[in-house]
Amino acid sequence: MIELYVFISIVIIIMLERFKQNSVQSDNEFQVMVFYIYSVFFHELAHYVTSMILLGRPSGMTIVPQRNEYTFNDGTKHVMWEFGSVNHNNANFINAFYIGLSPLFLIF
């Protein structure tokens, strides 16, 4: 039975990777957005859950992309996209370190 779960997991991973490659190569923005929205969700969810466990008191989570425009001192403008964020009310340097690293554990 475990072999079936492993096989299904491998098939799903291969299908998602093929979908990712095809969507990026075809320049279809909707396909790219669909693929990355669930990645951002799990990434931010890892921050949120770790913050709850380490008493960081998360106050909110968003996965709605926001366009931020910054102007430097020399007058040049730079655009950055923020795909998601988690707000914390009690983050200190100790638990913030582990909260920041928590999405790396999604690899394993």
- C-alpha distances (whole Å) from 20 to each of 55, 98, 105 are 36, 29, 21
**Domain region containing 32:** 2-106
Cut 0.75: pTM above it: no
Contact 31, 23 (CB under 8 A): yes
- C-alpha distances (whole Å) from 72 to each of 66, 80, 83 are 19, 13, 22
End-to-end CA distance of the chain, in Å?
21
* pLDDT tens, position by position, 86-100: 888 988 888 889 888
Mean pLDDT of the chain: 79
- C-alpha distances (whole Å) from 48 to each of 10, 35, 66, 104 are 27, 21, 19, 14
Q: How many domains does the chain have?
A: 1
* pLDDT tens, position by position, 27-61: 666 766 676 777 788 888 888 988 888 888 888 88
